[in-house]
Structure 1
């Protein structure tokens, strides 16, 4: 028989009575979204039968007692959105509170736990080793803290882990054979790339997130060994050198984001086999050369960002066949010649930014084909002539900029039909 008590969305402004600890057979206790004040009574930790405890979104305060380790049957503990000074949990999620406390060793007693997140706090000291003996854990997140010293044997007690979000990198990560997600986002270590080679043993790895770690190194060739990878994000890592040609081995890749680094050279031609790629961002680097024609071979590409690089030459007409594109950013390069007529045939494009280049020539009437566009930025080029009247047919446009060109003549009367326009710049 299941015993549970629910107080949800009430305005109970009192404290939690000590007598609640007498409900020895209780399995589920829900007291969310009230205005409960004071501390959590110690007697509540006597209810060893509890499997779920929800007390989020109240005004509880004070430390969370080490007696939390008594909840050996607990699957879910949610004390989020309170003023506790120890930690708070949602499926043992201890995030976004900026607490400066250590993690009690007794958390390791929660042997039924499936998800553990301690991210975005100021926990210091070592992570209790008992946590890594919770064999039921499937997801563990420890990013953005000051706690460190993860055990080198992290793989021994976590046979079922599928997602791990870490703030430091033990070499034994490669032994987590069921690992699907590894998120190292937003830390301060410089060795993030060292994890790549051992991860070749993780045959189920789908997502690798290295973003916002300053590594000052080249992306290793061993990245090509992660054959199951579907998502690779390394934004703002100060990556050096070329994009390795081995990236073309990642045939399952659908998301590749290497934006805001110090990458040089050209886009490797080996990228052409990535037929599943839908998102490619190489913006804000120092990549040079002509527009890579091999990108036209990526049949599922929806978002392409090559902005803020050092690319030059004309845009190839093969883009006409990229009907899958919904966003295209080529701004802040040195592209020349006229804008190819093929671009005006991308009828499904939502955002097109060609600003800050050296494009010349005039705008054709075919600009009116971009019926789905919500952003069109052609500013800071050498475009001349008049504004085509068909521009007024782009009724979904929210932002339009033709500023700092050599355009002349009057503003078409059809601009009155741009009913969704929020920003217009014709400077």
Structure 2
């Protein structure tokens, strides 16, 4: 049989693939991705498929190890083995000079040992490599210095959700074509290298959930193509660089769960491009929330909770009328709920708890049709609690710790409101 293409992708097939199929030596494309095939890959697959260019077995139930013979299939351009149950070490792929895409993601590869990433240096021979995915496995070990010598065409790196430790190697700025750099969910440490600011094509930078320390390099402001940026859940300290205000395409920004201090730069709050998320929670930020926050008119989620912010909540925040989630709890904000909040009709969650807010609870909040969770507890609000909207649901509204409130539904167990009536002068 002189077949050159074997394409059974996305057809819901199950069972094992007949061994005879792997003897079709003229096969150029072998695609069985997105099925339910099982069994192991033949140990001689790299020899019996000498002409193979595209080998796709992603998202099946294949088990066992990746055959060492795969390195003999020197014509392979794209090798996709992700989304299976493969185990063991990844063999050297140094003979695969034509590789453009390589993925072993979402398997059980690696053993948590120091040499798990020993195959990575062999990829320096793939001078046309564009995409590299090893995410969601059990790989440990340090990132080898040789990754800085990967193809200058490399656009996407997915190393996330492993057990990789150590520092980002110096020379990372050589990967000038990178658009996605995913290192999240590992055990990486040390400083974030300032030379990452030279990767001017970066659009997604995810370093969250690691052990990075030190300062946020101001050079990251040079990443003017950046769309999504997350450093949450690290040990970073120092200030938020005002230079990030130059990232004028930014859609989402996360710095939560670090030790960041100082004030929030107005330049960051002026990025009108921010439309998905700004999360600065669980840090040590102080000072006022900049009035420039009003420029975030397209923003969906703003979380500045659990910091040391103070002053009045700026009226300009009422201009952020795309907000669905607003979390400002655990700070030192004072004064009343701004009247401008009446414009925030799209809110689903509003948390102003554990502050020093005062005055009456804004009655317009009961008219917010989408508001499903409202937390005003542990402030200094006074007067009558509204009776409609979210205030009708004691499991969706929290007002505990405001000793001057009265009225409301019986479940709040507040005193009945009494009003002083001054006698008229005749």
Tell me which interval the TM-score lies in, with the shorter structure as reference length. 0.7 to 0.9
Tell me if 1:301 matches 2:306. no
Residue 154 (structure 1) aligned to one of 112, 131, 148: 148
Tell me if 1:145 matches 2:139. yes
> Which residue of the partner structure matches residue 418 of structure 2?
none
Distance 1:171 1:312, change over 3 A: same
* Equivalent pair of 1:127/1:149 in contact (CA under 8 Å): no
- 3-state SS of 1:366 partner: helix
Distance 1:353 1:410, change over 3 A: closer
> How far apart, CA to CA, are the structure 1 residues paired with 2:238 and 2:120?
39
Deviation at 1:352, TM superposition (A): 1.2
> Which residue of the partner structure matches residue 179 of structure 1?
178
Deviation at 1:153, TM superposition (A): 6.8
- 3-state SS of 1:104 partner: coil
> Which residue of the partner structure matches residue 367 of structure 2?
369
Which structure's residues are more often strand, by fraction? 2
Distance 1:311 1:56, change over 3 A: closer
- What's the CA shift string for 1:232-267, capped at 9, x where partnerless? 211122211222222223233222211111111211
* Equivalent pair of 1:104/1:128 in contact (CA under 8 Å): no
Deviation at 1:160, TM superposition (A): 1.4
> How far apart, CA to CA, are the structure 1 residues paired with 2:14 and 2:297?
55
* Equivalent pair of 2:33/2:59 in contact (CA under 8 Å): no
Deviation at 1:78, TM superposition (A): 5.0
Deviation at 1:360, TM superposition (A): 2.4
- 3-state SS of 2:264 partner: coil
> How far apart, CA to CA, are the structure 1 residues paired with 2:347 and 2:33?
48
- 3-state SS of 1:160 partner: coil
> Which residue of the partner structure matches residue 40 of structure 1?
41
TM-score w.r.t. length of structure 1: 0.80
* Equivalent pair of 2:371/2:390 in contact (CA under 8 Å): no
Residue 355 (structure 2) aligned to one of 349, 354, 357: 357
- 3-state SS of 1:171 partner: coil
> Which residue of the partner structure matches residue 65 of structure 2?
63
- 3-state SS of 1:189 partner: strand
Q: Unmatched 5+ residue regions in structure 1?
A: 87-100, 413-423
Tell me if 1:200 matches 2:188. no
> How far apart, CA to CA, are the structure 2 residues paired with 1:56 and 1:204?
28
Deviation at 1:332, TM superposition (A): 0.9
Tell me if 1:9 matches 2:7. no
- What's the CA shift string for 1:293-347, capped at 9, x where partnerless? 1212334333211100112222122222221322211011122222222223211
Q: Unmatched 5+ residue regions in structure 2?
A: 415-426
> Which residue of the partner structure matches residue 314 of structure 2?
316
> Which residue of the partner structure matches residue 89 of structure 1?
none
> Which residue of the partner structure matches residue 376 of structure 2?
378
Q: How many equivalent pairs are there?
A: 394
Deviation at 1:371, TM superposition (A): 1.9
* Equivalent pair of 1:335/1:359 in contact (CA under 8 Å): yes
> How far apart, CA to CA, are the structure 1 residues paired with 2:82 and 2:304?
41
> How far apart, CA to CA, are the structure 2 residues paired with 1:300 and 1:58?
40
Residue 335 (structure 1) aligned to one of 311, 314, 333: 333
* Equivalent pair of 1:360/1:381 in contact (CA under 8 Å): yes
Distance 1:297 1:211, change over 3 A: same
* Equivalent pair of 1:21/1:47 in contact (CA under 8 Å): yes
> Which residue of the partner structure matches residue 389 of structure 1?
387
Distance 1:118 1:343, change over 3 A: same
Distance 1:244 1:40, change over 3 A: closer
> How far apart, CA to CA, are the structure 1 residues paired with 2:269 and 2:210?
28
